[in-house]
Amino acid sequence: MPIELTLAVEAFPIAGRFVISRGAKTQAVVVTATLRDGDAQGRGECVPYARYGESVESVTAAIEGVRSALESGADRVALQRLLPAGAARNAVDCAMWDLEAKKSGRRAWLAAGFSRLTPLVTAYTLSVGTPDEMRAAAIRAADRPLLKVKLAGEGDDARLAAVRAGAPHATLIVDANEAWREETLAAQLDACARYGVALVEQPLPAGQDEMLARVARPIPICADESAHDTASLAALRGRYDAVNIKLDKTGGLTEALAMAQAAREMGFAIMAGCMVGTSLAMAPATLIGQMAAFVDLDGPLLLAKDREPGLVYEGSTMEPPPAALWG
């Protein structure tokens, strides 16, 4: 019996707004791929990201372009050749992992080489806003152990001061989303050090981050927009201390696992990250979380409504995915 592929575009409202240096959004629009083989089906979710030239239309068109190969039984190895790294391949790759697990009755993490999955503590994201807005948000989240603070460049010192005042005991990660500039980098890193920041994500624009190899880094710096897949790692040496591995960038769990192994061998710390999506997108990323120094898989916590069944979060602690969700 041939495999059947179906695609769905779904929208999940965000609780409030999600704001970063590049703009704001009020819903997470995702593309879900389902592969059915007889009575078994596997699902994968991706979030098309305009920063990387993706849209719902381009992602669905890319998957439709390989429909024949997928329905003829192409496997995950073949998929790496059929589609480039990115959101389209991610949805299909994760659906393949899920389908394999459902057909075999063997959890995906066992197939990936893990003996078990442990609960993870995820960061919780605070959107960019005025200092007063961010202080209020920090107060509401002050009981969470790890906060990810979105920054935007000018005025970030005041934003950090406000967040630290609102959540004096939380560990802070900051994410500039490429908004900082070379002439202010040293001062911004010094401000982060003053407020006890543990990690800085992507301070400079990708492709314009050579300066990071020439300046003192008082705080570990993590590549996000500069880090996509295994092939991107070599250029990051000397500039970054960590890499943010997101399945929508790597093109799925298969490449993410390879990238994590290569990153560790090259001396990078790992951050397991996500776009704003549902529990279906977070579930396979929990495998990368097992290898990560920092976990940022809070997508469902930012939504007004998640999928059912979804991941179980107790505060910021997330449990491994149930089989009914994925894998």
Residues 6+ apart with CB under 8 A from 212: 203, 204, 221, 238, 239, 240
**Largest CA-CA distance found in the chain, in angstroms, rounded:** 62
102 is catalytic: no
Tell me the two tokens of residue 161. Answer: 């001061």
Q: What is the DSSP letter of 141?
A: T
Question: SS3 of 20, please?
Answer: strand
51: left (phi over 0), alpha (psi -120 to 50) or beta: alpha
How, if at all, do strands 317-318 and 146-150 pair?
Answer: unpaired
**Helix 156-166 and helix 182-194: axis angle, to 10°?**
20
Residues 6+ apart with CB under 8 A from 94: 33, 42, 43, 44, 45, 46, 247, 252, 253, 281, 284, 326
Residues 6+ apart with CB under 8 A from 139: 166, 167
Choosing from 102, 148, 150, 249, the catalytic residue is: 150
Q: Letter for the amino acid at 42? A: G
103 is catalytic: no
Choosing from 25, 102, 148, 246, the catalytic residue is: 246
Q: Letter for the amino acid at 198? A: A
- Within a 13 Å sphere around the CA of 51, how many CA atoms are in the beta-carbon half? 16
- As annotated, the active-site residues are 150, 246
